[in-house]
Structure 1
């Protein structure tokens, strides 16, 4: 098993404390606590419907946008609760970026403008020269610069699926997040594009804390430093069964349910 090197701690530590979540009267998460350390990739694994994506969306305050949704607990970014009274939603979104399962660039907007789209939403201002530098820097970090540098004014929607996903990563990086959340970012991609996204994740871990939801056990083993195994059994809310360093989770898990899941015996 080859893991990406750990970062140098320039990212931020994200911590969920006793996080519970509901959709209406239905409880979907029960007292989930997890520390996602600076400079590491944390993979959230488990069967469908166990609350992984809900937990991920709670980490940057997307859960509260669902009309029937509610939650309890705390989410701390470097020790400060992002849900504390007086903390603005835009502040959480600027510090904690999100890349979704399906690539979602603005299709009619140019590649260049797609990268910069988040600046307006978060109120960040840049001069023309600063914008040019930022676009090149973020596309380079997302592994896309060499492929698109001669067509930056062409529509982002004209790119391939894998390129669109890397464009979305570049867009997320442009606002200088401290944490980057990824919800199954490779599920719709071919093996070549998947490998490139995984390489990008390994390279980014040096400077931003990454949390990824994946159903691909081989991917979790390749890209993450630690894993958290979520499970919802017999109608109960989702909870973490076990978490720890990725080699231990795959090589010597302590809970037999974890061993069965990572070996592909269910889920």
Structure 2
């Protein structure tokens, strides 16, 4: 048996959003525990923002959701991550399934600089073991770049290096690459932190355009961004050397305007962090 899959190319919607649920997730690096029993439901077709000061475990939590945490030497995990009710960490679940269904966009744009724009988009197919014909790849490149809000800007230079694009365009190219394997969830780890305001706005517009097509979980330190793009927020905090955890979570408007915990109110108001 192999992990190779065949890419379905149809006129149907590219993806159907999926729900994610973390149950009592804990994480360690060696002997250091960075998360303790974090539980959170991330509804299908919604944007969930993970907010909180640096070092509280937001990015670690994000990486546990598609098993990226396992790539770090000495890392350990406890708990469950349910994708449509099935634990992605169950022994019978393949790692490639998790990565194909739950895509990732990192903080710094990381296109393959020597590869063309076209080849960058389809690179994800090889990495996740998906087969596609040339026609299917052509259709997929256009579809993915369109969904990432980049097609009109690059359609006449698909064979030029992806590394020649601007920073904001490179990040949208990385989003297109992640979308090419048709994940049902997209994880975004501070995707705008290295971008200028104009590029940030374009990425945020892309998130808004994708929100009905895919479930998005985004880590951000920008409270205005969290308020603009998310449907719900989870506030993480690690106090006095304790592992990170969620203080409070709920609809974004409620979290910003009438949070239940004073620490949440202080953080979103900029009084610490």
Partner of 1:4: none
Aligned equivalent of 2:262: 256
Structure 2: gaps (5+ residues): 1-14
Is 1:118 the counterpart of 2:124? The answer is yes
- Whether 1:191 and 2:178 are equivalent positions in the alignment is no
Alignment of 1:116-155 (within 5 A): 116-155=122-161
3-state SS in 2 of match to 1:39: coil
Query: What secondary structure does 2:270 align onto?
Result: coil
Q: Distance in 1 between matches of 2:153 and 2:72?
A: 37
**Deviant stretches of 4+, over 2 Å:** none
| Aligned mate of 2:107, from 83, 101, 104 | 101
Provide the secondary structure at the position in 2 that maps to 1:29: strand
Name the CA distance, whole Å, in 2 between partners of 1:95 and 1:266: 36
- 1:88 corresponding residue in structure 2: 94
Task: Please report the TM-score for the alignment, with normalisation by the length of structure 1.
Answer: 0.96
Which one of the candidate residues 214, 218, 223 is aligned to 1:208?
Answer: 214
Residues 40-59 of structure 1 aligned to structure 2 (within 5 Å):
40-59=46-65
The match for 2:26 is: 20
Output the aligned Cα RMSD.
Answer: 0.8
Distance in structure 2 (CA, Å) of the matches to 1:142 and 1:87: 29
Match of 1:6 in 2: none
Shift of 1:61: 0.3
* 2:12 alignment counterpart: none
Q: CA deviation at 1:220?
A: 0.1
Q: Distance in 2 between matches of 1:106 and 1:258?
A: 39
Q: Which runs of 5+ in 1 are unaligned?
A: 1-8
State TM-score, norm by structure 2. 0.94
- Match for 2:186 among 180, 183, 197? 180
Please report how far the alpha carbon of residue 121 of structure 1 lies from its aligned counterpart in structure 2 after TM superposition: 1.4
Give the Cα–Cα distance (whole angstroms) in 2 for the partners of residues 86 and 79 of structure 1. 14
* Cross-structure match for 1:61: 67
Displacement of 1:10 after TM fit? 3.2
Within the alignment, does 1:236 sit opposite 2:242 as a pair?
yes
